[in-house]
Structures are given as C-alpha cells and as structure tokens.
Amino acid sequence: MNRFQAQRIMDAFVLCVCPAVQTFLVCGSIRRQAPTVNDGELVVIPKFGPPANRLFDNGEQVSLIEARVERLVAEGYCRFDTKTPRNGSRYKRLVKDGLAIDLFIVLPPAEFGVITALRTGPAHFSRQLVTPREAGGFLPLDCRIHDGQLLRRGQLVPTPSERELFEALGMPWIDPENRGTYAPFSKGARPAAARPAFGRGVFH
C-alpha cells in the first residue's frame, strides 16, 4: 500500500481511538516516510478510568483503550487480525481497510521514548538501540534497555520522548526518514535540535 493511502487510514483510526488516549505517535514506515507501507504502527499512552458497567466506584482504574478497541471491533469499524492474532494489554493487531495496524500500548515500566524509537525502526536501527557499543550498537557500557525502559547502572533514566532517549545515549537527533542510513556517531557529537514529530499528538 502506498504511504499516503496508509496515512489516511491511520489518521482515521487515531481519531477513533483518541477518546481513550493521552498521547500517541504514528511510527514504523509511515513515520520514516517510506514510499510503501506493509503495516501501520501506532504507539499510545492510554487514559485510565473506572471499569465500565461498574455499579460502585471502588477507586479501581483501568486502561480505557481496551474497551475502546472492543467497541470499534464490535461496531465493525475494524477487526482483529486472524492471521497474526494479538490482543494483549500491551500489543494488539487490527485490520482496517486492508491495512494491518500494530497498536502498541505503553504501560509501566515501559517509557514512551524507548517504545517509539524501537517501533519507528527500521529493524537494524532498533537492534542497534538495544545493543552495546562494543558490539556495534548505540548503548553505552553502563546502560541497557529492559522492559521498554532505559537503565543506567540499574537505575531508570526517564525517557518520555525520543529526544531524551537519544540525549541519554549520547547520540545526535536523527530524523526518522534518515535512520535507515545512520552511521555510528562521531566522537563528541552533540544532539541536534529535534524536528516536530510526524503524526504525533496529545489528547486532553
């Protein structure tokens, strides 16, 4: 599918899930502005609220994306992928108008910056993000990525955005469309100013 067609489908899907979402970023090949798209990828931080159909409020808070997706499927707006079935709390795979959509839901301990960087890709760039420098990757020797979070000497390094992740790794900012050709950074390189994220938003 060409990128522009895939982008239109993703834009419509985002509008439908937005009532249950705090923050989102369209990732994958759409964000990298590839000419053709196999799958759409959407990373979200969900909103939380009391469970539906609960007679009494006991203070429990649940991810609202679950009920929202179930409603969209029940209404026939989209469907779960039967070829690659995924319907977990952190990853769902849906199909809308011929486009498979990977929906990644950021829940603790995962961080939005780490997950969006990994899901933007391409695959070899994502592998380098979780590989130590001594093995040809981007991770400093005292860092590792575990459960979607960046740890330095076992302590969490907050990465609410890719910008914070790249800075923590000592990397310059790399525009998504250039990540397929990115070479290891030169010694002493400074992070450049980040460009606005493509297909990103915050809902209130």
The 3-state DSSP class for residue 33 equals coil
At 163-204, the pLDDT tens digits run 999 999 999 999 999 999 887 644 444 434 434 444 566 554
Q: Identify the pLDDT of residue 157.
A: 97
Q: Identify the pLDDT of residue 124.
A: 96
Q: What is the mean pLDDT of the chain?
A: 90
pLDDT exceeds 80 at position 54 = no
Q: What residue ranges do the domains of the chain occupy?
A: 3-105
Rounded-to-integer distance, Cα 127 and Cα 63, Å: 29
CB-based contacts of 82, cutoff 8 Å, min separation 6:
none
Exposure string for 7-36, b = 16+ CB within 10 A, e = fewer: bebbeebbebbeebbbbbbbbbbbbbebee
Q: Identify the pLDDT of residue 184.
A: 62
Q: 199, 201, 200: which is closest to 33 by C-alpha?
A: 199
Higher pLDDT, 188 or 101: 101
The model's confidence at residue 23, banded by pLDDT at 50, 70 and 90, is very high
The model's confidence at residue 154, banded by pLDDT at 50, 70 and 90, is very high
The mean pLDDT of 129-145, rounded to a whole number, is 95
Topology (CATH) of 3-105: Beta Polymerase; domain 2 (3.30.460)
Of 1-5, 36-40, 132-136, 179-183, give the lowest mean pLDDT range: 179-183
The model's confidence at residue 146, banded by pLDDT at 50, 70 and 90, is very high
The mean pLDDT of 5-21, rounded to a whole number, is 97
The mean pLDDT of 90-112, rounded to a whole number, is 98
Q: Give me the amino acid identity at 187.
A: K
